[in-house]
Amino acid sequence: MDSETRALFESRLLTLAQARVRERRLADATHTGSAKNPFCGDEIAVDLRLNADGGLEALGYEAKACSLCVASAELLSRWLEDMQASAGSVAGSVAPETLHALAQSVDLALKGEKEPAGFEALATVRPFRARHKCVTLPFDAVTKALKDQHS
């Protein structure tokens, strides 16, 4: 088997996807969005909890999807935790604009730009163009969630 395929299927992505340690729905979500890949039927639902100032405090997801989609959602969840722990966040929240910027960075990384910090494992997906949508599906759900506001 070629090195690209071996790298993809022996990468941390599969380990992350098999563990699914951060997969959960948020009972107190303020925003929810879902995305579906019409080619394979994969679906992911993303819950967000935003505070009164619009800062992102928590993210949960539930996926019926392939390993790359789940791994992407795991990386996203862990990124939020890291951001909240960093000095750059305000009172443990992350501005939605930062999430939008991250989505764009991931998209560009799949096209050849440098991966954003924490998403280096996605480099193994780059040669597999037919699978890029698997990685971006959680971000599509996030984008839809940010347009949603629970009543």
Residues that bind another protein (CB under 8 A): 1-2, 4-6, 8-10, 38-42, 64-68, 128, 130-131, 134
CB of 31 to another protein, least distance (A): 25
Residue among 3 and 151 whose Cβ is closer to another protein: 3
Residue number, 13 or 56, with CB nearest to another protein: 13
Backbone angles phi, psi at 37, to 5 degrees: -95, 110
Please list the helix, strand and coil fractions of the chain in percent, rounded to the nearest 5, in that order: 50, 20, 35
**Shortest separation between residue 71's beta carbon and another protein, angstroms:** 11
- The SS3 assignment for 12 reads helix
Q: In the complex, what is the shortest distance from the CB of residue 130 to another protein, in angstroms, rounded to a whole number?
A: 7
Question: Please, which residue, 6 or 12, has the CB nearer to another protein?
Answer: 6
In angstroms, what is the minimal distance from the CB of 147 to another protein? 24
Closest CA to 45 of 134, 140, 136, 151: 140
Residue 106, H or E segment: helix 96-110
91 versus 130: smaller Cβ distance to another protein: 130
Name the token pair of 141. Answer: 């759900």
What is the maximum span of the chain, computed from C-alpha positions, in angstroms?
52
